[in-house]
Amino acid sequence: MPGSRASVFGEAEEFQAALSADGVGEVLFTGRGQFCARMTQVGLERLRLAAVEETQSRVAFITVPRRMVLVSFPVNEGPSPIWGGVEIRAGEIITLGPGQRVHARIIGPCHWHAIQVPERQLADYARALSGAQFIVPPAARWRPRRAALRQLRHFHRAAVRMAEARSGALTDLQGAHGLEQQLLHALIECLSVGAEEETETERHHRDLLARFEDLLAAEPFLPLADICAALGVSERSLRACCKEHLGVGPSGYRRLRAMQQVYRALRGGTPDSVSVSEVAKRHGFRQLGRLAADYRALYGELPSATLRKGLGRDTLCLWRRARE
């Protein structure tokens, strides 16, 4: 059953939870200031569409769902997401095949669109239109004809506007089916030009960063030298790869990642189980003074202030439950 949802987010955690439905795992927010994002998600019979506006820099680790193809393109001439170290500019499209893993980052306000389409349906529809076999590369960049991309954007915007206007289920099933067919036709037109597939080196780097992410999740305190040994690369190579894909070196990325975990733990704290020093040590921080300075620069407040806010929310929830 087709459906839709339009949401405005004032909390980064809520935004990440909404993105998780589209294969987004960890999201590391690196920007400063008040968080704000807007996302409209549209589910048609087979396609899933998303229109996203973000204001804060971040790095997202994405795994494309099984049997699905991810298509993404920027909306305007402004900054666009950097996928696997490659910035996708206005007039370009990126596709990622089923199961592919990639880091996508933005470095400021950004507006982008995405489509998830079943791989088999995309291949069958392309073959029916062109008569030729169609295979989606693991990762590729496309530069479609302007008219074809204009059509794709037009139908994508039409679906998003319909969702935002109704803010609920798309009840016109016949209309939703017709819109989906138009979107598929426009997408095939965009993908009828030759693809610029990633090189073996680019794919190796993308895989290296995915395995680096796996190691951080499994063993967050592993020394950098041991991480490099496990990945089979030199520290210099890993540092260069992280700079390209993540915008920061491996040690800086790991520190930002741990600081975000501290932030989340303090926001969800309870009076009898959490203190700033306990949370900091749990996530590998021993120099509390340095943590406090870096934390304040990133989140605009000291760790103790975040904890107080978290305890205040917890107390308010208990009070509300007592009144029910």
Model confidence pLDDT, tens digit, residues 208-253 = 999 999 999 999 999 999 999 999 999 999 999 999 999 999 999 9
Res 320 pLDDT > 50: no
Q: What is the mean pLDDT of residues 97-114?
A: 93
pLDDT of residue 184: 94
Res 53 pLDDT > 60: yes
Q: What is the mean pLDDT of residues 293-306?
A: 90
C-beta of residue 111 within 8 angstroms of C-beta of residue 75: yes
pLDDT of residue 90: 85
- Considering only 78-82, 164-168, 267-271, 279-283, which range has the smallest mean pLDDT? 164-168
CB atoms within 10 A of CB 157: 14
Model confidence pLDDT, tens digit, residues 5-43 = 889 998 888 888 888 877 787 889 888 877 899 999 998
Query: Using 50, 70 and 90 to split pLDDT, how confident is the model at 269?
Result: low
pLDDT of residue 153: 94
